[in-house]
Amino acid sequence: RITDSFAQVIYWRAAASIAWAVLLLPPFTAAFVLFSKFSLFHPAHTFSECLSFLTSASAMFSLILLCGVMVIHGFLNLEYYTVVPTIACSKIELLGQLLHPRQLVNSLVCCIMGMIVAWCCAITIGSRYDTLGYTCPQSDGDASQMCLNEYHLVLLLGGAFVGLSHSLLGVIHNMNYVSFSTVQQYKYLCVKGSLPMVVTCSVTQALYSVRSFVIVYFFFGYIPKAWICKTLSLQLDNSVHPLDSIAGLLNLSLLYHLWISASFLLFTWHFALLLFRIFVTEVYNFPVQSSFTEDVQQCLAKVLSEKQPVIMKFTALQDLALLSQHSPSRRCEVFSLSQPGGHPHNWNAISKECLSLLADLNQRLVSYHDSVATNGRAKSLSTGSERKTSSETSGTEDPVSPRPPLLMKTPVSVFARTISGTPKSPLTPPFTPDLDTPFISPALRRLTAPAEQCSPWSGTLQSPHAMRRGVKLWSTSTDSQVNGSPPSSSTSVPSPKSEPSKPSLLSQFLLNRKEQVKGFLARRVLIMYLFNKLPEASSQALFADSQAHIWALEGLSYLVQASFSEDQFGVVQTTLPIILSCMLTLQEAVDRHFKLPHASSKPVRSSGSMEDSTHTTLRFALRATLKTAIYRITSTFGDHLKAVQMSAEHRKRLQQFLEYKE
């Protein structure tokens, strides 16, 4: 299968990135040794000390441990990466992502790996960071009395804290998101251009992590210190200042070694992540067509129709966008006809998948706009089922957001109270009360009773004023008002209808309690903070996978443009009206979306982290690509598009592009 073969491609690319990270680890470790032992007043001694350590057995053992950590980190990158970012629309969703069992496992593994790297750094620095325990100075030569080396403990706990914060920040900033580069470069140039950014991000994040760790250790450092002493039967040395005090934490040498160790840890992990992103998103060329039956599954059209894995579909769309721009020979294969039969199977399959993607995005935009339009406002609906659908749609938008007071829900049986063989009730929905309830008043019971034939109100209305005004009292059905059909006479017998089951008292009680709980929680500040929608989050989540739509638009527009001179059989002309209509419809939906609040505001790019903020601006890139794609087609075909069959609204909108007024 194509999924299995492409999975092997991804595995080999991930393995190549891990191998390069391991191969480049020795020079990075040597640089860390130099910075950790550097002395401004004794440079020659520093150089000789670094050489002696790098050739020692402890350095080799530390390097082996670091290589193992790099391999595990590479497997974590392969396991947790995604090409469609997970965007939390509220604080509670973000909290749920952080507390997900899968993420908790990742945090635990990163915490352990951070402690291992910190131990290697302690061995490298040496001196007072070398071991966890030492002989107490007041033991009078008794080697059985060991004291806790708090400097070593602080370095280990600092590494664990940095590893944990790295895992949590990865969820918050979507660091597992892998974006495809718009500019194709060699891998060496990509690494060379991104290396200064990796260094800057690592140093900056290490500084913030050390600051947070110092604060946490100042308040809670006595807990791990007491536990270690009790577990390992160690004692505290009273002759030195405890490090969980202001005097102990203001040690500049300790702060420097914490910062340089955290920078080394984050730099190696960030560099491995950078290599993984570059290798995995490398361009892969799929064959457009194949002469062998066993290779048909690997053709571009077949791969585009696959849903999983998502990275394979994205890679195929990237290949489509590139071949439509830079490969005339492969474009000819797209426009070719099958032999025998003479059918454009390649073009039909590719255009069908691209149009399906664009239609799906258009449907999502329309649904999102409708849900936003109906949120918090009453909408006049004709039937109880539509009323229920509207309430569910607005309810899923924000479960505890403050809303206007809800009207009392009427039982479903009220909206369909017609009994076979009896005339309609004078009251119609939603004004008809429930006659089965024991709390109905006698006056309403008489009012809703069927009118007798001898009554002056039976049949047509007797008041000439009401006849002249054309007023419809309670005898006109709701369905006739909505559908616009004339009201049926009172003497006509309605067709039998099945009466829906009435909700039980228990369900009504639970529903009312649910609404009361929602109203109670909506008035709490903390609950509102957790459940309120984040600005722009809903819009970003709506366009999270828009990179695929951008490539589909580029691929279709470039192929249509090239067909003007390269399509010998006119295979593109048969689907040109559908392509133009789909693009114009999508542009209308996108323009409509950008009129919503927070949709047109560009987010601020964050600096100092490895966060890939490409997904935050995908909606702007999609809007620009869509308009460019339409202009690309109109500028190529010109007035020939006036002969294309389309609706009057689309033709009017297309004329704006032909006149360059859009």
**For residue range 333-363, what is the model confidence (pLDDT) as tens digits?**
999 998 878 889 999 999 999 999 999 999 9
Contact 306, 313 (CB under 8 A): yes
Least confident of 321-335, 407-421, 594-608: 407-421
Structure confidence at residue 533 (pLDDT): 81
Q: Of 391, 388, 383, 410, which Cα lies nearest the Cα of 497?
A: 383
Residue 632, pLDDT > 90, answer yes
Q: Where are the alpha helices (DSSP H) in 310-397?
A: 310-326, 328-335, 345-374, 384-397
Mean pLDDT, all residues of the chain: 80
Structure confidence at residue 466 (pLDDT): 38
Residue partners of 115: CB distance under 8 A and separation at least 6: 156, 157, 159, 160, 163
Q: Mark residue 601 as left, alpha or beta (left: phi above 0; alpha: psi -120 to 50; beta: remaining).
A: beta
Structure confidence at residue 470 as a pLDDT band (50, 70, 90): very low
Structure confidence at residue 459 (pLDDT): 42
Contact 90, 531 (CB under 8 A): yes
Measured CA angle at 181 (ends 176, 186), to 5 deg: 110
Structure confidence at residue 461 (pLDDT): 41
Contact 156, 122 (CB under 8 A): yes
Biggest distance spanned by C-alpha atoms of the chain: 121
CA 508 to chain centre: 37
Q: How far is CA 323 from CA 79, 86, 393, 559, 570, in A?
A: 30, 30, 42, 9, 19
H or E element: which one contains 260? helix 252-280
Residue 436, pLDDT > 90, answer no
Residues 50-74: tens digit of each pLDDT: 888 888 899 999 999 999 999 999 9
Contact 572, 641 (CB under 8 A): no
Q: Mark residue 437 as left, alpha or beta (left: phi above 0; alpha: psi -120 to 50; beta: remaining).
A: beta
Contact 526, 295 (CB under 8 A): no
Q: Which two tokens stand for residue 117?
A: 């790297």
Q: How far is CA 151 from CA 120, 148, 212, 368, in A?
A: 14, 9, 17, 56
Structure confidence at residue 608 (pLDDT): 55
d(CA 176, CA 83): 8
Q: How many CA atoms lie within 13 A of 221 on its CB side?
A: 23
SS3 83: coil
DSSP 90: B
Residue 427, pLDDT > 50, answer no
The percentage of residues in the chain with a pLDDT greater than 90, rounded to a whole number, is 50
DSSP 643: G
Residue partners of 304: CB distance under 8 A and separation at least 6: 313, 316, 317, 320, 349, 350, 353, 354
Least confident of 107-111, 252-256, 523-527: 523-527
Structure confidence at residue 383 (pLDDT): 37
SS3 365: helix
Residue 177 β-bridge partners: 82
Integer-rounded Cα radius of gyration of the chain = 35
Structure confidence at residue 439 (pLDDT): 41
Structural domain boundaries in the chain:
1-281, 300-374+534-659
d(CA 473, CA 67): 84
Residue 454, pLDDT > 80, answer no
Q: How far is CA 390 from CA 164, 231, 373, 377, 423, in A?
A: 43, 61, 11, 10, 31
Residue partners of 73: CB distance under 8 A and separation at least 6: 113, 269, 272
Q: Residue 576: count other Cβ atoms within 10 Å of its Cβ.
A: 20
Residue 533 β-bridge partners: 90
Q: How many CA atoms lie within 13 A of 625 on its CB side?
A: 22
Structure confidence at residue 255 as a pLDDT band (50, 70, 90): very high
Q: Which residue has better confidence, 429 or 81?
A: 81
CA 159 to chain centre: 30
Q: What is the crossing angle of helices 25-36 and 101-125, to 10°?
A: 60
Q: For residue 312, with 0-12 CB atoms within 10 Å meaning exposed, 13-18 middle and 19 or more buried, which class applies?
A: buried
CA 76 to chain centre: 19
Residue 235 β-bridge partners: 147
- State which of 71-80, 140-149, 390-399, 604-613 shows the largest mean pLDDT: 71-80
Structure confidence at residue 276 (pLDDT): 96
H or E element: which one contains 135? strand 133-135
Structure confidence at residue 497 (pLDDT): 46
The pTM score is 0.77
Structure confidence at residue 475 (pLDDT): 36
Q: Which residue has better confidence, 137 or 13?
A: 13
Contact 569, 335 (CB under 8 A): yes
Residue partners of 612: CB distance under 8 A and separation at least 6: 174, 175, 177, 178, 179, 277
H or E element: which one contains 134? strand 133-135
Structure confidence at residue 165 as a pLDDT band (50, 70, 90): very high
Residue 159, pLDDT > 90, answer yes
d(CA 126, CA 122): 6
SS3 of the chain: helix, strand, coil, percent, to 5: 65, 0, 35
Q: Which two tokens stand for residue 45?
A: 């001694």
Unique residue bearing structure tokens 């689907």: 575
Contact 78, 14 (CB under 8 A): yes
Q: Is the peptide bond before 196 cis (omega within 30 degrees of 0)?
A: no
Contact 62, 123 (CB under 8 A): yes
Q: Which two tokens stand for residue 523?
A: 């008035």
Q: What average pLDDT does range 287-309 have in this prediction?
A: 83
Structure confidence at residue 64 (pLDDT): 95
Q: Of 433, 444, 382, 435, which Cα lies nearest the Cα of 408?
A: 433
Structure confidence at residue 437 (pLDDT): 43
Contact 623, 546 (CB under 8 A): no
Q: Which residue has better confidence, 298 or 455?
A: 298
Structure confidence at residue 420 (pLDDT): 38
Q: Which residue has better confidence, 402 or 332?
A: 332
d(CA 114, CA 247): 26
Structure confidence at residue 196 (pLDDT): 93
- State which of 10-24, 301-315, 403-417 shows the largest mean pLDDT: 10-24
Q: Residue 530: count other Cβ atoms within 10 Å of its Cβ.
A: 16
H or E element: which one contains 626? helix 618-637
Q: Which residue has better confidence, 139 or 198?
A: 198
Structure confidence at residue 518 as a pLDDT band (50, 70, 90): confident
CA 426 to chain centre: 53
Q: How far is CA 3 from CA 34, 171, 411, in A?
A: 47, 27, 52
SS3 111: helix
